[in-house]
Chain A
Amino acid sequence: MSVPRILTSAALALGLASAAVAQEKTKVGFIYVGPVGDGGWTYEHDQGRLAVEEHFGDAVETVYQESVPEGTDAERAITQMALQGADLIFTTSFGFMDPTLNVAGKFPDVKFEHATGYKTAPNVSTYSARFYEGRAIQGHIAGKMTKSNVIGYIASYPIPEVIRGINAAYIHARKVNPDIEFKIIWVYTWFDPAKEADAATALIEQGADVILQHTDSTAPQSAAEKAEGVITFGQASDMAEYAPLPRVSSIIDNWAPYYIDRTQAVIDGNWESRQTWDGIGPGMVEIGEITDAVPADVKAEALAMKEAIAAGDYHPFTGPLKKQDGSDWLAEGETADDGTLLGMNFYVEGLTGEIPQ
């Protein structure tokens, strides 16, 4: 037996032993990519964690680690959490995908839940929200409200989730305003307030009067507020402290019901690996209050679209749609299948620039 193997089995034995001792209490772990006080993505995941604590009371203990970098260091953090005796671990960023699977292979008795990824294992589930449904509504409001016809988009990493958001927003902005132009900046970070603010400032200086962001902090909201005459949307969290202007609406991620549901499954012993992808209908994606800065008719249209999406009457990716290179994607009335959406790596027709590869 090699030394690492002995160590692993010793660790496993220790984990099993402690699990046996603490059988009464289910331990749920959370790995966060940013600080819980980011006011956006991680904040909402932590709200979900707190909801789990409140719902189960003494039956469940939660632990979390914040600001875990994506990559190899994440593997260490997840392993440590598994060694501490966690029964269920939520890893809440796309970049934790491979680390989660690697650790899951070493801890077959621990259940893992990876947010926004696409790889599963017998003890690894994935879950994500259909943020693009909210993006469609934002695109509609943005297209109606822009005066300069330039919309700035702060993108994080070129992954399908982000590209879906850009496409959904663009399609619906162009539908109501054919002259619309999207300027996209890839910042290659989920959380860096100074850089996010700089990106927003650069977009505003180049004429954008609507800023959409797919990063986690509220910094772009501050930058927009400083500039005046610019509107923004809350991302991942309501960011209501910037309402009524610049923030005119928001996409809110509501993870609490899912986290409670999955924790219950572990307690009941009927947890199974599955892929969850819920949108506005089941309540995983919420649309934050549309403020009075938005004209009443635009607000009514946006709310109507929200209802249609929630009821399943309208799909944000409905043909006819073409890809950026002009080739056909969806025919008249056809809607995109989940497989294509999950692996989306192309822009729709009309967007300029290239997706970094």
Chain B
Amino acid sequence: MDLSSIDPVVLMASVIVASTPILLAALGELVVERAGVLNLGVEGMMITGAICGFAIAVNTGSPLLGFAAAAAGGAALSLLFALLTQFALANQVASGLALTLFGLGLSALLGQGYVGVKPPPTAALDFGPLTDLPVLGRVLFSHDLMVYVALGLVAAVWGFLRFSRAGLILRAVGESHDAAHALGYKVVRVRVLAIVFGGACAGLGGAYISLARVPQWTEGMTAGAGWIALALVVFASWKAGRVLLGAWLFGGVSVLQLNLQAAGAQFPVASLGWITLAACAAYLGYVLWQRQEISGRTRVILGVTAFAGAAFSYWRQGVYVPFQVEYLSMSPYLITIVVLVIMSFDKSRAPGSLGRIFHASQ
């Protein structure tokens, strides 16, 4: 197997870039859903952000202003959703789908004169000597501002929801809007603010595609990234840290599979055994960490499985089969879902009022 043409450091740097758009969009949607609102319009807000950011960046020559405009564009579109669902009490699912369709059409219209135009380059931040560090310099300190904004947002959203009073109110509104209302919290106001935040984040994510990752404007260029962000929020059990993990997994496996294809890599069959062994070890570790009792039967099953895994690895050592490209193509989706679903066995659940319409008189 020839993997020498894949440079792991360059690969890691690419992974961070590839995962930033869905990370931003998913973080925004996470806050929206924690406030009890299901906005399926992420794709529409992303693509609107992509063209707003692109147009402003081209016209002003400043990528930063572009990103600001992208956030504003996404937020403006989300206000439409807020108007429909929070004041006109329209169905959230239908409104969200309509928002996506509207955003796709609007962006195509706005983007008429921007096909084939080159945006100003989004420069990497200057970290001075840090950039020259081996490995870490390339992986962590070679990116543009938005990558760090996205990572900062993960921490900010996590801290906000977990430690701040406002975060507690937002979660209360999402869990039971009737109870929150009875306590005197402004349910609609909180939700509108959350929706606008979600729109701004989605806009930033879209602009990251059009200004940094590709960089160009093409109609429909988000090509489903918004839907992936939506799914990510659910599989990440509405937790900011897991959204980051999911985005990295998805972006990572996406980029990795392209690289494996380009390198003509082959699949080491023995790794199946090692994975089995590692899974057994991880389970054992988890059980010990939780100080749970293990029944005799479980012990036997665990032991036999681990042994079988090890034996299989030894037996198939050095055997390689070509990757099936079809499986490689689905692997980002599959691996992300499997990992996050396994993690969600810890009784995580959706916010109680998710998707329900609230009116003070009811």
Chain A positions within 8 Å of B, measured between CB atoms, are 34-39, 67, 152, 158, 183-189, 191-195, 197-199, 201-203, 205-208, 217-219, 221-223, 225-226, 239, 241-242, 352-354, 356
Contacts and interface: CB of A to CB of B under 8 A. Distances in A.
B223 A206 contact: no
B203 interface: no
B225 interface: yes
B9 to A, nearest CB: 10
A352 B18 CA distance: 28
B254 A193 contact: no
For chain B, give the interface size range.
35 or more
Contact of A193 (B14, B108, B216): B216
A15 to B, nearest CB: 27
Given A39-B116, A183-B263, A188-B329, A219 B218 contact: yes
Given A222-B118, A241-B118, 4 more contacts: A187-B329, A188-B326, A206-B262, A222-B215
Interface string B201-227: 000000001000111101111111100
Interface in B208-266: 209, 213-216, 218-225, 254-255, 258-259, 261-264
15 contacts: A67-B220, A152-B262, A187-B258, A187-B329, A189-B223, A192-B224, A194-B21, A194-B213, A195-B223, A218-B216, A219-B214, A225-B118, A226-B215, A239-B116, A241-B116
Contacts of A193: 209, 214, 216, 218, 221, 223
A217 B11 CA distance: 24
Most buried by A among B209, B218, B222, B259: B218
A38 B111 CA distance: 11
A199 B7 CA distance: 15
Given A185-B261, A197-B213, A222-B214, A354 B322 contact: yes
Contacts of B221: 193-194, 217, 219
Nearest to A36: B219
Contacts of A184: 261-262
B324 interface: yes
B275 interface: no
A35 B108 contact: yes
B6 interface: yes
Nearest to A226: B215
B308 to A, nearest CB: 30
Nearest to A205: B10
A197 B11 CA distance: 14
A195 B219 CA distance: 15
A217 B218 CA distance: 7
B216 A206 contact: no
Interface in B1-57: 5-7, 10-11, 14, 18, 21
B304 to A, nearest CB: 36
Given A35-B108, A38-B218, A202 B209 contact: no
A352 to B, nearest CB: 6
Given A34-B220, A39-B116, A197 B214 contact: yes
Closest CB pairs A-B (n = 7): A241-B116, A35-B219, A37-B219, A356-B325, A192-B223, A202-B258, A193-B221
A284 B33 CA distance: 52
A110 B117 CA distance: 40
Contacts of B108: 35, 37
B115 interface: yes
Given A152-B262, A185-B261, A205-B10, A39 B213 contact: no
A356 B262 contact: no
A206 B21 contact: no
Nearest to B114: A37
B5 A353 contact: no
A206 B219 contact: no
B214 A186 contact: no
A38 to B, nearest CB: 6
A207 B7 CA distance: 11
Interface string B110-144: 01100111100100000000000000000000000
B121 to A, nearest CB: 8
B261 A198 contact: no
A225 B116 CA distance: 13
A197 B121 CA distance: 16
A222 B221 CA distance: 13
B223 A352 contact: no
Given A191-B223, A194-B213, A186 B261 contact: yes
Contacts of A239: 116
Contacts of A219: 214, 216, 218, 221
Interface string B321-335: 010111001000000
B209 A194 contact: yes
A173 B6 CA distance: 24
B113 to A, nearest CB: 11
A46 to B, nearest CB: 11
A39 B220 CA distance: 12
Contacts of A185: 258, 261-262
B209 A35 contact: no
Given A193-B209, A203-B262, A186 B325 contact: yes
Nearest to A152: B262
B220 A191 contact: yes
A61 to B, nearest CB: 22
B14 A37 contact: no
A30 to B, nearest CB: 16
A183 B6 CA distance: 12
Nearest to B2: A352
Contacts of A352: 264
Contacts of B215: 222, 226
B258 A199 contact: yes
A205 B326 CA distance: 23
Contacts of A222: 118, 214-216
Contacts of B220: 34-35, 38, 67, 191
B256 to A, nearest CB: 9
B214 A223 contact: yes
Contact of A183 (B224, B264, B324, B326): B264
Contacts of B255: 198, 202
A223 to B, nearest CB: 7
Contacts of B325: 158, 186, 188, 356
Nearest to A242: B116
Contacts of B259: 202, 205-206
Contact of A207 (B5, B214, B225, B261): B5
